[in-house]
Amino acid sequence: MIIAVAGLLAFSGCAKKQAEPAPQSAPEPKIESSVDSHGCMPSAGQSYSEFKNGCVQVFNVADVRLDDPDNKTLAVYGIFNKKKNKVEIFWASLGNESQILSKKGKKFVSEDGSIQLEKAGKKYKISKK
């Protein structure tokens, strides 16, 4: 009899407990991000590139990176077209839009002549009038 009672007690201890509801976690916050007129997200480091025909993170795809002469904590980036006779410049001083420079001699020059990119040794140098 003692064995039967012990068996019943042991069996009742193994009975399934009622499932406890999982603790509710707070809903994930929505991250609001603005997009520019091309659908790029500047907050994610994206800019529209005419040469790449879409949104890019220029710091990941640039052919040229040089120090920004206006702000030493920033950089200027350039993407060449396939023929390498034009370069698309991304420069904080130009605002949100890139600038296309065309090759004229050994330099790349903006249409109005105000921006010039030239190779100085193995590096490039950019200037603005």
State whether residue 4 is helix, strand or coil: helix
Work out the pLDDT band at 97, boundaries 50, 70, 90: confident
Provide, for the chain, the percentages of residues in helix, strand and coil under a 3-state DSSP scheme, each rounded to the nearest 5. Answer: 15, 35, 50
Work out the pLDDT band at 5, boundaries 50, 70, 90: very low
What is the pLDDT, as a whole number, of residue 129?
A: 85
The answer on pLDDT for 113 being more than 90 is yes
pLDDT tens column, 10-48: 555 554 555 566 566 666 555 556 888 889 998 898 999
The answer on pLDDT for 4 being more than 90 is no
Strands (E), 8-122: 47-49, 54-56, 64-67, 75-80, 86-90, 99-104, 107-110, 115-120
pLDDT tens column, 57-78: 999 999 999 999 999 999 999 9
